[in-house]
Structure 1
Amino acid sequence: MHKLLYSENKENTIREIECISDSELLHVITGNYNWDNGFEIPYSIVNNKNCDLGTALLIFYYADGYRVLENSDVINNLNLKQWDNFISEIKERILNNKFQCNRIKFIPPLTKVQIFKFKKNNPNIDKVFLEESDGEVIEIPSI
């Protein structure tokens, strides 16, 4: 996995991720991904048919998707078009139940005050973004 995470060749890494059938492995890769390397790898993880809802929520959080939940106008920032597209697509896929696996628990790292503010600013916010998902907690070792 170390070779996969630190490979200089994104195309090879993406091809390898497409072949991963272990949803826990996708989750661990996500937990160790260096976001300075762009959206291609996380996008390939989300597009893997074995990507768990918990992993998709983790990607949404790691990609700073909660900024969109706080203020939906953030998504229309022309300077962040690639980020806008990435977050919008993941959010829609989560809301439309496009992740078949739901075995990995995601616990949003939000305080009760943050959750209250989210709900106050956006009463229509879906609970999937604010509450723990089903499944078991998967420890993410540092690689």
Structure 2
Amino acid sequence: MDDAEYRWLQDILYEEDIDVVRKEIERMDNSILLHIFAGNYNWNNGFDIPNIIINNDNCDLGTALLLFYSADGYRMLEDEQGFISSNSTKWKEFLIDLYDKITNNKFNLQNIAFNPPLTKIQILKLKKKRSDIPSILLEVLNGNEVKIPKL
């Protein structure tokens, strides 16, 4: 990523006009820049922008997995009943949609590596508790390692 791309991503990340951010993310055609943006996203700003990211044709599977775990997808896997009974509707809708896209192979690009932020113990407990969790959510995704600089 060059300096111009870095500044551009910074500008988008800190832009206050949600419509400007939405348009920039929708037209973003570089999966690495989309990944870096996703890695810097402030979740206090809600789920609108992450939804746009996962619906961008250039969203890589590695980025989708990053967003899944950044949105606390582990809670969805670990405590299905607690997840279902949560009052956070937008969070649930986002994770259900993202889970569906990931497990049904809806991401055409699969070039960015991702290592789930789980310990071996957490993985073993999840597999023991729920044998139906797809391995794509628990295993390392091979690909290009993308360093996510702080914007």
User: What's the TM-score once normalised by structure 1's chain length?
Assistant: 0.97
Q: Is contact 1:104–1:134 with CA below 8 Å preserved after alignment?
A: yes
Pick the aligned partner of 1:115 from 116, 123, 129: 123
Matches within 5 A, 1:68-83: 68-83=76-91
Identity %: 47
Moved over 2 A (4+): none
Indicate yes or no: 2:17 matched with 1:9: yes
Q: How many residues align?
A: 143
- Structure 1, unaligned stretches of length 5 or more? none
Q: Is contact 1:23–1:50 with CA below 8 Å preserved after alignment?
A: yes
Query: 1:78 Cα shift?
Result: 4.9
Pick the aligned partner of 1:84 from 67, 81, 92: 92
Q: Is contact 1:14–1:41 with CA below 8 Å preserved after alignment?
A: yes
Partners of 2:150 and 2:142 in 1: CA distance: 24
User: What's the TM-score once normalised by structure 2's chain length?
Assistant: 0.92
Letter paired with 2:91 = W
* Residue deviations 1:70-104 (CA, integer Å, cap 9, x gap): 01113322511111101000000000000000000
Letter paired with 1:44 = I
Partners of 2:104 and 2:83 in 1: CA distance: 19
- Structure 2, unaligned stretches of length 5 or more? 1-8
